[in-house]
Structures are given as C-alpha cells and as structure tokens.
Amino acid sequence: MMMPTSSVKVLDDAASVSAAIAPIRRRILKELIEPDSAAGLAVRLEMSRQKVNYHWRELEKNGFVELVEERQKRGFIERIVRPSAKAFVIDPALLGPIAAEGASIRDRFLSAYLVTVAARLIRDVAVLRERAARAGKKLLTQTLETEIRFESPEDFAAFTEEFEQEIERLIRKHGASKGVRGR
C-alpha cells in the first residue's frame, strides 16, 4: 500500500472541517484504503461517478486527498488519488472561545484537563511535524508510557508531587536555563 504523505493532518480552518463532515465525503475517505479513481470508488460505493467526482473534488480542494498518478484511459485522463493523511485532527483553537483550554480548568487532576492538554499536544506535534518536514528535518520527540496503580488517593498525591519535582529538577539540569539553544 502506498502511504499518505502525512500520518496526521491538523484541520485548522472551518472550510476544511465542513468539507469533510458530509457523510458521503467521510465514506469516500474511508474507502480510499488503496489509491483509486472516482470511477473505481463509484462502483464500490454504488453511486454515480459524477456524484463521487463532485465530492472527491471538494475533498481534493480542501487537502484531504492528493494525486498519486494520472492515467490515459479511453480518451480521457483517469486521476488516482489517496488520502493526504492517515488521520485528521480538528485543531481545538478552531472553536475559539468555546474550545476547552487547560487554563480554564483549575483542577489538573480532572480528566477534562487531560483531554484539553492531549488535544493541544496533538495539534502542537502535528504542526511541528509539518514545519520539520518543510525544512527537510526530522522532529525529535520523547514519549514515556507506563501503567501504575495506587492504593489510595494519598499515595497518588504523593507520587504526583514527587514526579513533578523530579521533572522540574531535570528541566533545570538539562533545560534552556543553561544558555544552550537546542531541541
């Protein structure tokens, strides 16, 4: 399978989001597991080629699909496309003042706080990946995933306090406060 050029694409304008919300367009994107033409998709979706082509053009105009190749076929050019990303994420900032922001959620232990931070993280990493790709560089990241259980809320609170202190210590030791520019 030919992979999309991007694994995650951030939708940061209302036109892009509205272009993808239509059920037919979502079906088209879902069916594009392999690159295909409007005619090929029309057969699989049991729709007219014209109807598929109309929605396909809107997806292409808004950056959801990209051209893979053009083939000469019976007097016309058949265009083969694929999704431009494996996944699409809506930028929370697009919602403006109604978007959940971590600063408005005072209790960082609430799951709502985690969701808002995760949404910002997805957006920020996707944007940084795009910038790095345009610059011809790789984006260096670090991820830590673990599972931990606590016997009591007090144990959780103690762990959290110690964890935060250790992270702050590591930031002071290795961070920009040393006057070093870097990643």
Domain shared by 24 and 78, yes or no? yes
Domain shared by 131 and 150, yes or no? no
Domain shared by 13 and 47, yes or no? yes
Domain shared by 43 and 83, yes or no? yes
158 in a structural domain: yes
Q: Which amino acid is at 16?
A: S
Q: CA 129, CA 133: separation in Å to the nearest integer?
A: 6
Q: pLDDT of the chain along its 183 residues, tens only?
A: 455 556 778 888 888 888 888 899 999 999 988 899 999 999 999 999 999 999 989 999 998 999 999 998 888 888 999 999 888 888 777 776 655 555 566 677 777 778 778 878 887 887 888 889 889 998 888 888 899 999 999 999 999 999 999 999 998 888 765 555 555
CB contact at 8 A, 69 and 118: no
Q: CA 28, CA 56: separation in Å to the nearest integer?
A: 7
With the C-alpha atoms ordered 28, 31, 32, 38, is the resulting torsion angle positive or negative? negative
Domain shared by 81 and 110, yes or no? no
CB contact at 8 A, 11 and 88: yes
Distances from the Cα of 150 to the Cα of 36, 66, 144, 156, 159, angstroms: 51, 48, 19, 6, 9
User: What is the total count of domains within the chain?
Assistant: 3
Domain that holds residue 70: 6-88
CB contact at 8 A, 3 and 45: no
Q: CA 135, CA 171: separation in Å to the nearest integer?
A: 27
183 in a structural domain: no
Whole-number pLDDT of residue 1: 47
Distances from the Cα of 72 to the Cα of 35, 50, 58, 180, angstroms: 16, 19, 23, 56
Of 58, 183, 65, 176, whose CA–CA distance to 131 is shortest?
Answer: 183
Domain shared by 84 and 10, yes or no? yes
Whole-number pLDDT of residue 149: 94
CB contact at 8 A, 119 and 100: yes
Whole-number pLDDT of residue 106: 66
**Where is the domain boundary, 63, 88, 113?**
88
Domain shared by 100 and 122, yes or no? yes
41 in a structural domain: yes
Whole-number pLDDT of residue 179: 59
